[in-house]
Amino acid sequence: MINPNEKNIFMGQIGHDKDLLEELTSICKDNNITLGKIEAIGAVQKGEVGYYDQKEKIYLTNSFNAPMEILTCNGNISLLNETPMVHAHITFANRDGSTCGGHLLTGTKVFACEYIIYQFTNATSLNRTKEKITGLNLWK
């Protein structure tokens, strides 16, 4: 059990036309954030999300090529192959208020986005390894 009592907080915006996942990952790498939590709100020009097919053990991609609001984007930061990895899920709202979402993938293009990253400094980083049963890179 990790008790992340001590933390540094990073807040900012992600620029227009930037890739949401790539930018969040870059912020973590640039600041040596190896364990933490991510939150983000804003809007995107298009979205790419994944749905994990539990039988086939692969991510299926859903693409949304339309402006949408980010209702919530939550995730965590840990290590995969000794490199900071952002694992986040995102929910979008369309113009009519209907929602869609999934596992945040590269290809989600920002219109405007504000983020908060909580870096946990009072704990050992978690490492991800491929689990045999699920096929996912999970904390060991």
pLDDT, tens only, 90-113:
999 999 999 999 999 999 999 999
What secondary structure letter does DSSP report for 35? S
What are the angstrom distances between the C-alpha of 48 and each of 68, 83, 96, 112? 12, 23, 19, 16
Say whether pLDDT at 5 is over 70. no
Q: Which residue has the tokens 């290590």?
A: 79
Residue-wise pLDDT tens digits, 19-59: 999 999 999 999 999 999 999 999 999 999 999 999 999 99
Task: State the average pLDDT for the chain.
Answer: 94
* Domains in the chain, CATH or no CATH each: 7-124 (3.30.1330.80)
Q: Position 36: which residue type?
A: G
Say whether pLDDT at 131 is over 80. yes
